[in-house]
Chains A and B, each alone.
Chain A
C-alpha cells in the first residue's frame, strides 16, 4: 500500500517533470519572436554616406589651443598628411588612399617627385611620402638628394616597390637610401617566407612551400603565397630592421644572407621603408602601412572596426535537392544533412571561439526542379537562429542560372507565404556586378537590407565602405574552407589595419559536391581549423554578424579623432559619432596601466584594443615590464 503522503509526493514530481519536458519548450517557442529580424530594428537611425568623415586639409590648429597644449606639456600626435607620389590608380596607391581615409589622415597626390618638390614647403612637412619608385628618376642625383632632405627633416619614406635591380646595383646612393648592402643575385625564387612578430597582428609567421606527397592534404592550397616569389636578392646594410624575408630552396630561414622582402632603414631622423616583391599591390597594403606607421612612432593609436564575421553562404537551403547524391553520401536528404549533421558541427565550432554566424539563406539552390522549399524548415531555422543570435541574411546565388531578380521574386513569395514577410538586413551578393547589386537592393525582399556582403575583389582598395547612400559594403576576405598563405597574410593585414575579419563558408558545396574533397567530413575539418586558428589568434576582437558589422562600418567611417600625450598619459578625443568607437593602440615597450572613459584589452605584446565609450578617454601607460629588484 502506498501512503497518501507518498502518493501526493509522486504526483507532484510527475507534474513537475511533465512541465519541464513539455511546457518549457512550448513556452520557449511561443516567446520566440523569430519572424522579426532583430538586426533590422534601428536601421533608419544609422549614419549614412553623408556622415563619412573626410579630411579637408584644414587640420591647422588654433594657435591659442596649440599654445595651451604646449603649456600643458602635451605632445600632440603628428598624424597629419600623407603625400603619395605616383599614379593614384595603381593598386598600391589606391591602398594608400584607402588607408589614409581609414586613419583619418589628409592626403595629397603627385604624379612624380619633381612635381612635389616644386611645392615642397619646410613649414608644412607631411608625415610621410608614399612613393612608387618608378616615379623617381634614379639617374638624377637631385631627386635622391631631395629624398635625403626629406629624411633629414623627419619625413618618412615608404616605397611601395623598388626600382629595377640594375638601378640598385649601379647606384650607390640608392643602395644607401634603401639600406641595401649589396645585391647578391638579380633574381631569386623563394620557397619560404618569414614574417617577423610585432609587425602585423597575428605574430611570427612562416609560409613554407609544401613538400611531400601528403602536403596537399595537410595544407591545402598552401601554394598561394602572398606577393611575388621571385625578386632580386638584396642583403641589408647596418641600420636596417627586416620585417619579412624569404629563403630559397635549401636555405634555412635563420641564415643571415636570406633575401629580404620588407624592411626599413633608419637614418636617425626618419625611416625609409622598402617593399620587395609586390606585397603592397592590393588591399594588403593598408595593413602594411598601418604596421609601418606603428614602427615610425613611439606609439600609434588608430580607429578600427573591431568586427569578426563568419558568413555561411547558401545555408540553410530548405528544399530536398540532389537527393540521389545525398543518399549515396550521407543516407539522408539534404534537409536532414543540413539540420542533423552540419548545424551541430557548425554550432560547436563557432561556440568554441564565441563566434556569431551570419547565415545567408537560400530557400533552394535549384529553381528548375520540382522540389519546393519547405516552409516548416524555414520556421525551424529562424527559431533556432533567433535563439543563438545568428543573423539570417539572403544569398543571391543559385544553381539553376536564374537571374537574381527572378530569384528575389520567387523567394519573396516564399517568405510571404510562410511568414507573411521578413526583414532582411544583409545579403550576400557573391560575385554580382555593382549594377546587379543595385537592382537587387530595389527588390521588395531586400527593402530593409542595409549591408551587402560580397566576395573579395583584389582590385578593390578597401574592404569596407558605402555602396550607396544608405547601404554599406563589406568584403569577405577569404574562403574559410580553403587555407592559403595569401589569405592568411591578407587576414593579418586587415586585422592590423581595421580589426576586421570576414570569411565565408560556401555550404552549397555540401549539397552539390564537386569531388570527394567536398564531403562534409573534409569540409568540416577545414571549417573547424579556420574558426579555431583565427579565433585563437584574434581572440581580443569582437565577434559580430554582418548587420552588426554594418553598424560598426558606419560608425568607423563617420568618426574623427585626435590624440595627444603628456608624459605617460594619452588623451584620445573622438568626434562625429554617438556610440562607442574602437581603436588599436600600438606601443613599444609600454603597456596600459589604466584607462578612463572606456575599456581595453591586450591583443598581443605591444598591441591593445581600446573601446572608447566616451568622447574623451585617457590612457595611462607604464613600462611593459618592470624590474622586480631595484
Chain B
C-alpha cells in the first residue's frame, strides 16, 4: 500500500498545523492589529507584547462566551474579528464605505469578470513577494546573526523535546485525561464542569479545537512542543531585553536547554502541555513590563503598565503557581528598583496594575464560585500544599521513587551525620537533590551564580548604572528566595507551593541568572564599546564548552499513559468511521480522547459483567463496529511522569488473579493494569476462537493489539462468553 502515512509524519504535520494555528492567533493577529501601537518597542519586547495581547484576548473571549453559554465556532470567529472591525470603524469613521470599496477593489474587478482569478492571485502574490522581500531584507540585514542564533535555539528545543513528541504518541502524564475532559466539556459550554479552576490554558486549547477543528487529543499530544518552544523564546526575548550584549542571552538559554546538570524533574513536565508550564510564558513578560515601567521610559509606560496587568492576569488565569512566582519577581523588582519603587507615583500604578490583573483573572472564577460552583479538587490540593506537610511528603516520595537510590543515599548521609546542617548546607543539599543531577558542585555553582549576580548588581549600582544593576538584583533576589524555598521543609519555612515544583522555576530562572552574570562581566569589560558583542559571542562559546564539558543532555523518551498503538488506532478509527457508529472498549483514557466522535466501554466494566455471568447474561454493544484495545505489554500507568517501562507481559497467571474491585482508575494503574489486561487478552483470544472470521486484528505491535468486530446492529454479538478466567 503506497498511500499510508507514518504516524511520525502525521505528528509532524499536526505539530506544524497546531503551531501555525497557535502562532497565528497569539502572534499573527495581534501583529496585524497592534503593529503600529507597539512599533516603538524593540523586537523581543514586541514579541512578548503580541503574545500577551493574543493570549489575553483569546482566553478572555472564550471565558466570556463560555459564561454566556454562547461559545461555538461562529461566535469565536466573530469575537476574534471584533477588534479588527472596531479598529477599522475607528480609522475610517467617516469614510468606512469608500475605504471598504477601495480595499476590495481587486475582488470587485475579479467578480465582475474584468480580471481572471489567476491573474489576480498572481498580482497579489507578486505584490506580497515584493513587499515581504523588501521589508524582510531590510529587517534582517542588521539582525541576521540574531535570527540564525534564534533559529538555532528553536532547533535545539525542537530536538530536545520534539524527539519525544514524534516518537511517543500518548499522553506523557495522567493529568492530561482530566484536562481533556474539561476541554471536551467546554464544547457544551460547561466550563467549570468539575469545579472552579484557572481555565486560561483550557480556554486556549478549546479555542484552537473549536476554531480550527483540531481534535482535542491531537492538541494535547503535540501542543507541549509548541508550548515549550514559546517558553524558551519568551525566555530569550526577556534576556534580549535585559542584557547589554546581543549574544549573552543565548549562552544561558543554550546551557539551560542542553546541559546535563539539571535533574530531569526540572524539565520533565515540559513534555506535557500542562497549565503550570504554559503559565511560564507569561511570567517573564510581566517581569519585563514592570521593569520597563520603572525604567522611566515615558513612551513605554502606558503600554508597559497595560501589558504588565495583562501578564499578571494571564499567570493567574493559567495557574496560580505562576502568579506566585511572578509575585516573587515583583518583590525582587521592588528591591532592585527600590529607589523608584518606593516613590508613590510608581508604586500606586504598579499596585493598581497588579491588583487589576489579579482581579481580571479572579472575577470569572469568583463569580462562578459565588453562584454555587465548588472549587475544583486540585485547587484544594494546591492550597493544602501551603498548609500540610503530609502532601509534600507524598510528593517527595514520588520524586524519591523517580530518583531511586540517589534519594536514599542523600537521606542516608544527612541522617547518619546526626547533627543539624547549616542553612547554606541545607539549601545546597536540597538544590542538589531537587535541581541538579546529584551534583553538589552544580548546586554550589547555581547558588554561587545567584550570589554573584546579586554582587554584580550592587557593583553596577556603584558604577552608576542603576537600571542595569536593579535588573540584576531584581532577578537574583527572587532566585535566592526560590533556593531558600526549595529547602523550606528542612528549614521549617512556610510553604507556598508543592515543594517539587520549585525546581522547575529554579531551572528556568538559572538561565536568566547565568546570562545576566555573563552579561554583567562582559559589560564590565567592554562597557558600551563595540567589543561587547564579541564578548557576548565569547560568553556563548564558553557556555557551549561548559555544556560539552559537563555533559550534553540526551533527549528523553518518556513512558506514556497510552501505547503508541492505541493512539495510531484511535486516529485511524476516528478517520475511518462516521461519528457515533463505533465503540472502543479499553482502559479509561480513550474515553476523553475520542470526545463525542464515538462511544467508549470501560474495560473493567466489561470484564466485571463476564465475571458474574450466567447462562442468561447478555453483553452487547449496539454500534456498527466495536474495537477492543488490549495491551500485551501493559503500560506502567502512574500519576508522575517517568521513563519507566516495565518488562511485564500479559499471562495466564495474571489472568487467574481476581480483577480489582476498586473504582476509578485503580484497575488500570501499576500492577492492577497487568491483571486487567491479562483478563482482556484471554477473553479476546477465546472470542476469536469462536468468531475467527469476524473478530479481526485491526492493528498489532509488540506491545499492543486492537481487535475489530463489525456488527450487524440488528443481530448484535453477545460478548459474554466463558473465556476460562471468568472466576
Show the binding face of A for B, using Cβ within 8 Å.
181-182, 194, 196-198, 204, 236-243, 245, 253-254, 256, 266, 268, 295, 298, 588-589, 622, 625-630
Contacts and interface: CB of A to CB of B under 8 A. Distances in A.
A629 B5 contact: yes
B699 A256 contact: no
A239 B721 contact: yes
B576 interface: yes
Given A237-B615, A238-B721, A588-B693, A629 B715 contact: no
List of 9 A-B pairs having minimum Cβ-Cβ separation, nearest first? A588-B693, A266-B690, A242-B715, A238-B718, A268-B689, A626-B1, A627-B572, A589-B696, A239-B690
B568 interface: yes
Contacts of A243: 715
Nearest to B713: A254
B694 A588 contact: yes
A157 to B, nearest CB: 16
Nearest to A197: B712
B183 to A, nearest CB: 23
B437 interface: no
Contacts of B575: 628-629
B715 A245 contact: yes
A240 B696 CA distance: 17
B691 interface: yes
A240 B617 CA distance: 14
Contacts of A240: 718
Given A181-B616, A196-B715, A628 B693 contact: no
A630 B565 CA distance: 9
Contacts of B715: 196, 241-243, 245
Contacts of A625: 576
Nearest to B715: A242
27 contacts: A196-B712, A237-B615, A237-B718, A238-B618, A238-B721, A243-B715, A245-B715, A254-B714, A256-B620, A266-B690, A295-B693, A298-B692, A298-B693, A588-B696, A589-B693, A625-B576, A626-B1, A627-B569, A627-B572, A628-B3, A629-B5, A629-B572, A629-B575, A630-B4, A630-B6, A630-B7, A630-B568
Nearest to A254: B714
A197 B711 CA distance: 10
Given A628-B572, A630-B6, A630-B568, A241 B694 contact: yes
A197 B3 CA distance: 29
B145 interface: no
A630 B4 CA distance: 7
A424 B10 CA distance: 66
Contacts of B721: 238-239
Contact of B712 (A204, A256, A295): A204
For A237, A589, A627, which residue has the most chain B Cβ atoms within 10 angstroms?
A627
Nearest to A242: B715
A331 B714 CA distance: 52
B618 A256 contact: yes
B638 interface: no
Interface of B: 1, 3-7, 10, 568-569, 571-572, 575-576, 615-618, 620, 689-694, 696, 698-699, 712-721
Given A627-B4, A629-B575, 6 more contacts: A238-B721, A241-B694, A241-B715, A627-B572, A627-B698, A629-B7
A256 B1 CA distance: 40
Contact of A194 (B618, B693, B694, B714): B714
Nearest to B721: A238
Contacts of B616: 181-182
Contacts of A238: 617-618, 718-721
A266 B4 contact: no
A629 B696 contact: no
Contacts of A626: 1, 4
Contacts of A196: 712, 714-715
Contacts of A628: 3-5, 572, 575-576
A268 B690 CA distance: 5
A243 B714 CA distance: 10
A424 to B, nearest CB: 48
Nearest to A267: B690
A241 B4 CA distance: 33
A318 B606 CA distance: 73
B108 to A, nearest CB: 42
Contacts of B718: 236-240
A309 B714 CA distance: 33
A181 B618 CA distance: 11
Nearest to B688: A268
Nearest to B569: A627
Given A196-B712, A239-B721, A253-B714, A627 B568 contact: yes
Contacts of A588: 693-694, 696
A630 B712 contact: no
Contacts of A589: 693, 696
Contacts of B1: 622, 626
B33 to A, nearest CB: 38
Contacts of B5: 628-630
Contacts of A197: 712
Contacts of B696: 588-589
A543 to B, nearest CB: 31
A201 to B, nearest CB: 16
Contact of A629 (B4, B615, B618): B4
A241 B696 CA distance: 15
B692 to A, nearest CB: 7
A584 B62 CA distance: 59
A181 B718 CA distance: 12
Nearest to A239: B690
B699 A627 contact: yes
Contacts of A629: 4-7, 10, 568, 571-572, 575
Contacts of B569: 627
Nearest to B7: A629
Contacts of A622: 1
A245 B713 CA distance: 13
A241 B717 contact: yes
B427 to A, nearest CB: 50
A256 B716 contact: yes
B238 to A, nearest CB: 39
A266 to B, nearest CB: 4
Nearest to B169: A629
B693 to A, nearest CB: 4
A182 B568 CA distance: 42
A243 B572 CA distance: 29
For B690, B694, B698, which residue has the most chain A Cβ atoms within 10 angstroms?
B690
A622 B714 CA distance: 29
Contacts of A627: 4, 568-569, 572, 698-699
Contacts of B10: 629
Contact of A241 (B576, B691, B719, B720): B691
Nearest to B571: A629
B14 to A, nearest CB: 11
A629 B4 CA distance: 6
Contacts of B690: 239, 266, 268
A628 B696 CA distance: 17
A240 B687 CA distance: 11
A133 B569 CA distance: 46
Nearest to B708: A589
Contacts of B693: 295, 298, 588-589
B2 to A, nearest CB: 10
A311 B483 CA distance: 96
A245 B714 contact: yes
A182 B569 CA distance: 38
Contacts of B719: 238
B245 to A, nearest CB: 47
Contacts of B717: 241
Nearest to B11: A629
Contacts of B691: 241, 266
A194 B713 CA distance: 12
A245 B616 CA distance: 19
Contacts of A254: 713-714
